[in-house]
Every structure is written in C-alpha cells, then in structure tokens.
Amino acid sequence: LARETALRHAIEGGQLCLHFQPKVDARDGRIVGAEALVRWQHPERGLVMPGEFIPLAEETGLIAPLTDWVLDAACRAVASWPVAVPVSVNVASTAFMADGLLEKLDAVVQRHGIAPQRLMVEVTESMLMAGADAAIARLEALRAAGFKLSLDDFGTGFSSLSYVKRFPIDELKIDRAFVQDVDRGGKDMALVASIITLARLLDLQVVAEGVETAAQAEHLGRLGCHIHQGWRYARPLPRDRVLPLLQAGV
Ligand code: G
Ligand code: G
Ligand code: NA
C-alpha cells in the first residue's frame, strides 16, 4: 500500500518524466520517430525505471492516470519537435482495452494541435492474443481516426501468421532478443529474416529493437531492415538532448 500511495503521489505530483529513444534510418542516420519511455524521478531513489512500477500501476489501476500523463507529455513534446516525425507511446493492455481510449487520444492530439498521425500507439503481441476480436476492433477504430499502430516485441508471442494479417497495424518491432544474435547466423537470423519478409508482404514498416553493434546493424540492413532503434545510435534521452538529434540525425 505504501508503494501504491507513493506512485499515486508521483503521478499527481510531477515526479514522472519521459525519455525519448530515436528510431533511426540506418542508411542515412535520419531520425524517423522516437519512443517515449517513462521514468520516475524518485526524491530518494533517483531515476526509477518503468519495469519497477508499471506492473504495480497495472495491478492497482494507476495505469489509467499514468497513461493519461504519458500521452499528454508525449504529445506536448512532439508538438515542439523541429521535424514532423511521430512519437511512439507504450499502452499497457488494461489501458488499451479501457473504455474511452479513442476519445482520450482524440482529445490529447487536439489539445496539443498535432495530427493523429504524429502519435503511434505501441501494443504487444501477447495483449492482442488475449482477446483478439475485441483488440482488433479497437485497433481498427484507432486506425480509422488516423493514429499509427505498432506491434511491439514481435516474435516473442505466439501469433499465427493469419492473426498478424488480421491486425490493422502500421509497424512491426522485432524483439531485441532476436536482434542480439542476428549476426551469428543460425535460427535467430532465420527468424529475423522471416519477420522482415512478413512485414514486406503485409506492407508494414519493420523496426529492429535493441541494436547495439555495427555487425548487428549491417546484418539487419542486408536482410532489408533499415529502421533501427538501440544503443548503437542513441540511448533513451531526456527531451532537451533528443531535440538536436531530431534536427541533425545521428
Ligand atoms: O525504459 P525502459 O527502457 O526500461 O523500458 C522498459 C519497458 O517499460 C518498455 O519496454 C515498455 O514496455 C515499458 N514502458 C516504458 N514506458 C512506458 C509507458 O509509458 N507506459 C507503459 N505502459 N509501459 C512503458
Ligand atoms: O520494447 P520495449 O518498449 O520494452 O523496449 C524498450 C526497452 O529497451 C527499454 O528498457 C530500453 O531502455 C531498452 N533498450 C533500448 N535500446 C536498447 C539496446 O540497444 N540494448 C538493450 N539491451 N536495451 C535497450
Ligand atoms: Na515499446
């Protein structure tokens, strides 16, 4: 209960902040988007990472106000960027299926004067598998309203190909577990190659997550995946440090 109270305080009292990790076109270093990642600036513990408080937020229902805060802060940021690329926001399963999400998204982009295309919602494969028909209906509603949709951690769930075809999405993100060994040949490379092929067939943008080395980047490029996110290019950065990269690339 003490942790819940502290998190409620953090959300209401301005202790959350967003970092932004660029998505880079590896062919020219241009930034094509950025993912917003929430952090808790804890008065005693310093910067607390989301893995330590998102699960608590989901268990306690605080994910609703937390998601509201993140959406508002992400849209405020993207409205101030010098290039018209989208910001990606992670939306947890409970928040994604909650009543009124579409109205909430419409309101937040209007409030900040941005086009809905500047907001990309990241959902995970496992979320969609849990209640596929309802989730697909929700995706369709968001997409019809102009929001962009991304399927995160792809490859870690158990989507059959026929499911992926039914998901009305714009982007697939290859989980970093597969990217890690993409330069070693073997099964991970085969898996990454098949995800890239799938994305091409379905006309989806494909993004590699967790790209750390030149060798990984080179192999991904050879396989036809040119949009990379990872420490090789940039770590998640505070707002004022990501601005110059948006302008100049990496
Ligand atoms: O920030 P870090 O790099 O530690 O992110 C760990 C994970 O936390 C991310 O992969 C993402 O799934 C989750 N996460 C980060 N920011 C948010 C957020 O704003 N909302 C939700 N629901 N999850 C987030
Ligand atoms: O998919 P998800 O939203 O969980 O991904 C974001 C997480 O991945 C964050 O915790 C972020 O800090 C982390 N991350 C981003 N780039 C890299 C990377 O190149 N290597 C590793 N190991 N983690 C990364
Ligand atoms: Na994500």
Please give the domain boundaries of the chain with CATH numbers for all domains: 23-34+63-241 (3.20.20.450)
pTM assigned to the model: 0.96
Distance CA 236, CA 74 (A): 14
Please answer whether residues 21 and 34 qualify as being in contact, where contact means their C-beta atoms are separated by less than 8 angstroms: yes
The two three-digit tokens of residue 60, written as one number: 């306690």
| Cross-strand bridge partners of residue 241 | none
Nearest CA to ligand 1 atom 21: 90
For the chain, the average pLDDT equals: 95
Ligand 1 atom nearest residue 95's Cα: 22
Confidence of residue 157 (pLDDT cuts 50, 70, 90): confident
Question: Which of 18, 19, 21 should be mutated for ligand 2, with most atoms under 8 A from CB?
Answer: 21
Ligand 2, residues at Cβ distance < 6 Å: 21, 37, 90, 152-153, 176, 209-212, 230-231, 236
Question: Which of 90, 97, 175, 242 should be mutated for ligand 1, with most atoms under 8 A from CB?
Answer: 90
Distance CA 36, CA 121 (A): 10
Residue 45 has pLDDT above 90, yes or no: yes
Average pLDDT (219-228) is 98
Distance CA 180, CA 56 (A): 29
Distance CA 139, CA 156 (A): 20
Nearest CA to ligand 1 atom 11: 90
Nearest CA to ligand 2 atom 18: 210
Residue 210 CA to ligand 2 center (angstroms) comes to 5
Distance CA 88, CA 238 (A): 15
User: How far from the centroid of its chain's Cα atoms is residue 47's Cα?
Assistant: 20
Distance CA 148, CA 88 (A): 9
The two three-digit tokens of residue 84, written as one number: 């018209």
| Cross-strand bridge partners of residue 123 | 151
- Residue-level pLDDT at 236: 98
Question: H/E element holding 135?
Answer: helix 132-144
Distance CA 194, CA 47 (A): 38
Ligand nearest to the Cα of 229, by number: 2
Name the residue with higher pLDDT: 225 or 165: 225
The answer to ipTM > 0.90 is yes
Confidence of residue 165 (pLDDT cuts 50, 70, 90): confident
Using only the alpha carbons of the chain, give its radius of gyration: 18
